[in-house]
Amino acid sequence: MTNAFPQASADDAAPPRTIALVGKYHSPEIAESIRLLARYLHERGITVLIEEETAGNVVSHLALGSWASGNFPWLGAHSDLAIVVGGDGTMLNAARQLARYRVPLVGVNQGRLGFMTDIARTEMLSCMDDLLDGRFIPETRMLLDAEVSRQGRSIVCNLALNDVVVDKGAIGRMIEFELFIDGEFIYHLRSDGLIVATSTGSTAYALSANGPILHPGVAAIALVPLCPHALTNRPILVGDRNEIEIRIVYATDSRAHFDGQVTADLKNGDAVRIRRSEYSITLLHPPAYSYFAMLRQKLHWSERPKEH
């Protein structure tokens, strides 16, 4: 399967002049990283902007009053790229907020696993020269458009970089839903839910549900059932041009989750429609970045068994 959407080119990694800093919310630990980055970039002649909630969380710890701050739309209009300090959750939120502004993203891992935030905090400043000189490698990642409709009326629309998940909610009963692809009925399923994941999200919730790992260059969407009542319902891949629809047949507390950060309550008869978004994001990786090396490191592939 070929990708009909163009990948980022080297031109997308042109040396930036204005950089936005985005940090993990409600985490004073990121204050020092933000301070180091802001001062380093300023000394290199870069205009530094700080996302307003990040500034609000760290201003009491550091003197950041000299740096301009604003909301995501303002950052999107004025930044050449954004450096996200935190974990994948922080990156997911920044990606959804900045996708429409086509601001490239660089991730500094201050969390735990960090599949998208691939620069270690200890290497943060040493990587900046390569970034500012335009040597980082751009990579395009697709997003999903998701819409919840009720009685023919749209009630919720959201973007997702990782996944859209329809699940049974807090009550223990399974939900029943019908799955359609491009209007064609696929199956009726009783389960705990269904994960609709991008290649980026294939290493997130979908992976823990025994879904496949998709290389970012694969133009596909993974459909991964959650604890299906029938064991013959297995994960499947569909093309990135297909439209997916999940119709709720019966549920008592069903919900739709977008990247695990935004939630919408569902009722019987609701439909969740998912397609590839017109927006994408560009992740900028250090020159030595390798997707497979990242998987080996994060998933501990090739480690020798511990001796007893």
Residue with tokens 């450096």: 83
CB 166 within 8 A of CB 140: no
Q: Is the dihedral of CA 72, 145, 93, 125 positive or negative?
A: negative
The closest of 278, 259, 222 to 92, measured between CA atoms, is 259
CA distance 150 to 268: 9
67 Rama class: left (phi>0) / alpha (psi -120 to 50) / beta:
beta
Residues 54, 23 contacting (CB under 8 angstroms): yes
Closest CA to 263 of 276, 273, 254, 271: 254
Known catalytic residues?
88
Q: Using the 8-state DSSP alphabet, how is residue 223 labeled?
A: E
Sequence-ordered strand ranges (E) for 192-269:
193-197, 220-226, 236-239, 244-250, 255-258, 262-265
